[in-house]
Structure 1
Amino acid sequence: MVNSPITVLIMAAGTGGHIFPALSVARELQMLGAKVEWLGTPSGLEHELLANTEIPLHTVPVQGLRGKGFMRLLFAPFMLVRAFWESLKVLQRVRPDSVLGMGGFVAGPAGLAAKTMGLPLLIHEQNAVVGLTNKLLFPFSIRAMEAFPSTFPAASKVSYTGNPVRREIRELRDAAPLAFATDHSLN
């Protein structure tokens, strides 16, 4: 029997604050031999950032709710139910071994769909204060990772990991002493 690589579906959309850390995780997972697929939105920044990668992008029509006015809030339940069902379809097609929510409005309905299907759900919070989506998904997750200590309520499933950073950025740390004076003088 040949072992096939695990498949991880990463859910991240909206802003670079969610997408860049998720992309860092995706690259590391790929280097470990995992197959990575992405769930985003039809018009998010993820389209541009994933264009030059080999990561398949699936989309679900969902938008943020905060500050979008009364009409958006009025239609929000319909949009979220539709996004949940569309997420179920994507999950059935992709058949991931696990699902990682890195933030953004797409992660809410898709994370609940993953839990409904019995898939392991992991979440990561990049901010010092837990966002609405991760607050909702926390009880359903098997692992919650945080960039800052004590972001999530204390629980055995919480890990303080810091923010994922691209390999190129991490490598700059090693080069920094060569670029700056190491004797702490201004001369």
Structure 2
Amino acid sequence: MEGYKIMKRIILTGGGTAGHVTPNIALLPELKAHGYDIRYIGSYDGIEKKLIEEFDIPYYGISSGKLRRYFDPKNFSDPFKVVKGYRQAAKLIKELKPDVVFSKGGFVTVPVVLAAKRKKIPTIIHESDMTPGLANRICIPCATKVCANFPETLQSLPPEKAVLTGSPIRKELFSGNKLAGLEFCGFTVNKPVILVIGGSLGSVVVNDAVRSVLPVLLEKYQIIHLCGKDKLDHKLAGTPGYVQYEYIKKELSDLMDAADLVISRAGANAICEILALRKPNILIPLSAAASRGDQILNAASFQKQGFSYVLPEEKLDGQSLLNAIEAVYQDKRNYIDKMTQSELNNAIGTIVSLIEEVAKH
């Protein structure tokens, strides 16, 4: 019977982008080990539904509307979707009777967190970025605790709720095999490897900068280029020492283990994975013109802590990229040492302990 609890129950929620789902997925093994019956609330057809279905966890879709800070015709209809989602979430929480709710963010979480507050269910929110996004800002007053990735974020959170945890990292990323990664790419062990990650959609400016100096790079390095959907350059197919893929899932841990240096955008989850794996890195944050500026702040924090070299998109070209690569590779030991000293090395354990503490009360 759905409403009858035979063990501790947790509702996970988060969606809209993979970054709002993968940290939840990273928590699954530890939550199961602690005896939790896990349920997931997301949108009807968001990316979260596809990602969660792989793990045989009961999934409940609710109505979801985006809350925008700019004019859009959907601003007139989406509030009604949020209200509908709230009613659906309240009904689910009444039926499922969770001990605790864990929210990773995204607009689908707003009705879930508000409904949990109304039903007096304790809620933990995780904020990945330096500054909370709009959805989390709405939810924070309803939360019991708020987890953060960056020390600077604590300043913008209620002190009695804020906890510095870092981001949960999928355990499979730590099981990579360098030799398997090199073999997958057809690479040798005699040259260092650069892994370029432009995000699931890819980055035209990053791709262009890498390819503009490819002959120079290949004199010293081998390049694994994750360039994004529909962004392969077929003229470069078969170039010795250079491989390109739209997207990699299964072999990513092997490719990460093979990498001596990583070039990446500065999304919170991506850079936390780089930190956890101790990879010397160059961050090229999405420009303020194309975002709310969260990647710029994320990258600045990692640079300040000595984890990363930051190359602003506005200054990115072939020569600046070459200069950055040379600087980071020469100083790679120092970057690795700084990352090893980080306090954010056991996010999963910290967060699950927090869940246990909150659920008991």
Q: If the length of structure 1 is used for normalisation, what is the TM-score?
A: 0.85
CA-CA distance at 1:75 after TM superposition: 1.8
Amino acid across the alignment from 1:11: T
| Stretches (4+) displaced over 6 A | none
Inter-CA distance 75–179: structure 2 relative to 1 (3 Å threshold): closer
Choose from 137, 161, 169 the match for 2:165: 161
Amino acid across the alignment from 1:164: P
Amino acid across the alignment from 1:113: A
Amino acid across the alignment from 1:157: K
1:141 corresponding residue in structure 2: 143
* Alignment partners' CA distance in 2, 1:49 and 1:78: 27
1:40 corresponding residue in structure 2: 42
Compare the two structures and name the one with the higher helix fraction.
Answer: 2
Choose from 9, 27, 46 the match for 1:25: 27
Structure 2: segments with no counterpart, 5+ residues: 178-252, 261-328, 331-361
Deviates more, 1:119-128 or 1:19-28: 19-28
Q: In 2, are the aligned partners of 1:147 and 1:160 still within 8 Å (CA)?
A: yes
Choose from 51, 54, 58 the match for 2:60: 58
Higher relative contact order (CA 8 A, sep 6+): 1
1:107 corresponding residue in structure 2: 109
Amino acid across the alignment from 1:149: P
Identity %: 28
* Alignment partners' CA distance in 2, 1:154 and 1:110: 21
Inter-CA distance 180–136: structure 2 relative to 1 (3 Å threshold): closer
1:82 corresponding residue in structure 2: 84
CA-CA distance at 1:154 after TM superposition: 4.9
Amino acid across the alignment from 1:122: I
How many residue pairs get aligned? The number is 180
**Cα shift readout 1:82-104 (whole Å, capped 9, x = no counterpart):** 11101111111211111111111
Q: In 2, are the aligned partners of 1:41 and 1:60 still within 8 Å (CA)?
A: yes
* Alignment partners' CA distance in 1, 2:117 and 2:152: 24
* Alignment partners' CA distance in 1, 2:259 and 2:72: 53
Structure 1: segments with no counterpart, 5+ residues: none
* Alignment partners' CA distance in 2, 1:179 and 1:71: 47
2:341 corresponding residue in structure 1: none
